[in-house]
Amino acid sequence: MPQGVYRELCLQVIKHKHECEVQGARQHLESERTLLFDAMKGELLEKIRRLEEDRQNIDLTSEWSDELRGKKCKRKNLLGRSEKKKKVALVSGPFIVYMLRDIDILEDWTAIKKAKAALSPLKKKVEKR
């Protein structure tokens, strides 16, 4: 086999290997890009879901604070003066003190509102019968 033919065949093999490497790199890049896109999309959807939940909780919290403000307004007497706060009564014997944090109260309030909203369509169906 002449030296020129062997050299040509070696060059073709090298070119084919190079093309295979380039194609493999492109495919790897594309798969990495797709994985990254899916991961970012998942994170954004999770953030959107959390923001929607927070927005619903804030709506319920604002209702709760509006109701509390309404109760405070009812405490005022006709002259516009608010009633004095009642003094804490001293209790003798065993007693239980519940010390709930505001966040616990808001979570309970949210659960009650959601349950109430879920039951209201059922009550309407029962009333129509």
Name 110's Cβ contacts closer than 8 Å, sequence gap at least 6: 56, 57, 60, 61
Q: What is the pTM of this model?
A: 0.39
Average pLDDT over residues 93-107: 73
User: What percent of the chain is predicted at pLDDT more than 90?
Assistant: 35
At 29-69, the pLDDT tens digits run: 999 999 999 999 999 999 999 988 888 877 666 666 666 56
pLDDT of residue 40: 96
Kindly indicate the confidence band of residue 2, based on its pLDDT and cuts at 50, 70 and 90: confident
Name 64's Cβ contacts closer than 8 Å, sequence gap at least 6: 106, 109
